[in-house]
Every structure is written in structure tokens, then in C-alpha cells.
Structure 1
């Protein structure tokens, strides 16, 4: 029974690492190198400058360590970056539902196009813990191996090259575009309304602007969750 469980864990770990390597692969790679094994071997050599690709051992330690030995992704190391320093302060508070943080990021994607978006920090952390490569790779982001790039699964996402706009309700927020107030997010837990324009124009104390050398122009919006009586 134990041997069977061990084999299942090893198989799951192997598939997860393959998915991790796939996140670095571009369409043209598959055109010229149809063999996945060869492509995976070349990933560390072809990664973008400043990007560190984890070895299978490092990946296993990050994603398959025993329950409780590493609850927070920042425990694997934090890069000396102003955005990462700010998010480390908020990681535990978000996980424990003390505050709810939305992160706005304006940067360039892997293809060099300008993109921007709003990320539900708590949901993104939780998704990465359960879905791995399908969400933002927080262990690598905190450690400085990957950049934080918004995508079409986040609360709001814009690709400026073609003007496409995506929006999605998250587990914590409902997206509410308002003709007068602008983009707003309603917190599902306590019903509070977070209006982006108001946070910015009134110099809200829970709104923090951060210029990150690695991640671009960012804004952190903190919501102090009110407990329902």
C-alpha cells in the first residue's frame, strides 16, 4: 500500500514538474523541436535572462514538502525587491483573512507586450497551492526567479497591443464597472466597495504605490475585512 502511494506521489510530482517546464515553452519551440523531452532539457538553457529554472529536486521541495513544513511561499526566500517586501508583509494576513489585498501590475509579458491587471492576492496564493502551474508561481516570484504578470484569469486584465479587456469575479470580489465611480470591486465577505479611483485621488492610507525594477509599476490596495456581527 505504501509503495503504491509512493509511486502515485512520484508520478504526480513528475507530471507537475513537466507542467512547470511547459510554462517556459514558446510556440516556436514546438515547431522546431516536436519532442517534449528534448524541449524540456533545453528549457534551462533558453530561459530569459534573469529567470532561474528550478531543478526537479528544488521543485519537489517547494511543491511537495510535507504538510505544515512550509505553509507560506515566502519561506522559500524573498528577493530584495520593494514589491516582494510589501507582499511578504501581507501574505499571512491574507491567508488568515485578516485583510484582503488587490495587486495592480503594469508590466511587459513574456512576448514584450504591455499588459496590466488587478490580482486577488489571496485567491492567487491559494490557487497556486492547489493548481500549481495554472496560477501565478508565487514561490518563484517571491524568490525573484519569475516576474509577477497578470493574465486573463485575474480580476481585470488588459493587453494594450490589441485593446482586449478581460474581467472575472474572484472568490473574494465581484467586479463592478461604474460609469461614474469607475472600476470598483465589491468584497463578497463584508459587502464593502473598493473604488479604485477614490483610493487613488484621495490618497487613501490603504493604497500603496510601488515602482519595482523587476515587476514594473504596481499598486497595492488593502481592504481591512469587517467581521459581520
Structure 2
């Protein structure tokens, strides 16, 4: 069995206006778009060097502007955005496992390791690590 890690990054940031934006970022897909130098992609080198902040964008898996109420959902090369009732889920395309974003003992919780980070720079950050299992 070959194993691979896939990570979704959740950020909730306070803007200068005092309102928050939040979103879910497919880390691998975002890195790939950056390596292809796609227009509007995240400049990960600048993020890692501390020159810019990582910010969720309308083109990420999910984006929410808390002031305007604008919501965007986008499938990526790795994930499909799904809804189960009022819950948001992501389905990994490689092994078809569902990745829940809610806290608690819900369905599919065994598919992901959820790590919360309280950052003085970013505020709330949550990493969703999914171990992908594929037959070789």
C-alpha cells in the first residue's frame, strides 16, 4: 500500500475593516498552481518568507466573507465540495473518502486528523490531514 498525505488548511482572518474572512485551502492544489505560475495563485514562497499573509481566496475550496455574506465553493483537482444536511464535507477524489470539517463524533471522523492552531498572526487555523491509501 502506498500512502500519501493530503492537507486542507482552514483560516479565519480579521481584516482591517474589522470583519472576518474564512476559507478552506487545498494545500497540494494551491502549491501546484503556484509552481505552474497561474494568475491569482498563492505566492507560497512569499508566505513562507513572511512577506505576505496566507489568505483564503474566492477560488479556494471554500471562501466566506462574514461582512457581505458572500460564499464561494470550488472543486479542486483533489477534492469535491459536498453537503450533508447543513454540514460541509470534502470528498477526496483519489480514495473517495469524505473529510468532515465539524468537530465531534460525526460520521467519517476516522478519515481525518484535525489540528487546531491559535496563531497571533493568523487567528484561528485548522489543519485537516487525510492519509490517502491507494493500492500500488
Note the 1:175-214 alignment, pairs <5 A.
Answer: 175-179=81-85, 182-197=87-102, 200-202=103-105, 206-214=113-121
The 8 Å contact of residues 120 and 155 in structure 1, kept in 2 or not, is answered as: yes
Asked which structure has the greater CA Rg, the reply is 1
Match in the other structure for 1:104? 10
Q: How far did 1:109 drift?
A: 4.1
- Of 125, 133, 136 in structure 2, the residue corresponding to residue 218 of structure 1 is 125
After superposing on structure 2, the runs of 4+ consecutive aligned residues of structure 1 that deviate more than 2 Å are: 108-113, 202-205
Distance between the aligned counterparts of 1:224 and 1:167, measured in 2? 23
Distance between the aligned counterparts of 1:163 and 1:177, measured in 2? 18
Q: How far did 1:132 drift?
A: 5.2
Q: Which runs of 5+ in 1 are unaligned?
A: 1-96
Distance between the aligned counterparts of 2:37 and 2:67, measured in 1? 29
Q: How far did 1:228 drift?
A: 3.5
Structure with bigger helix share is 1
Q: Which runs of 5+ in 2 are unaligned?
A: none
* Root-mean-square deviation (Å): 2.1
Structure with bigger strand share is 2
Label 1:149 to 1:159 Cα distance change in 2 as closer, same or farther (>3 A): same
Match in the other structure for 2:73? 167
TM-score (norm: length of structure 1): 0.53
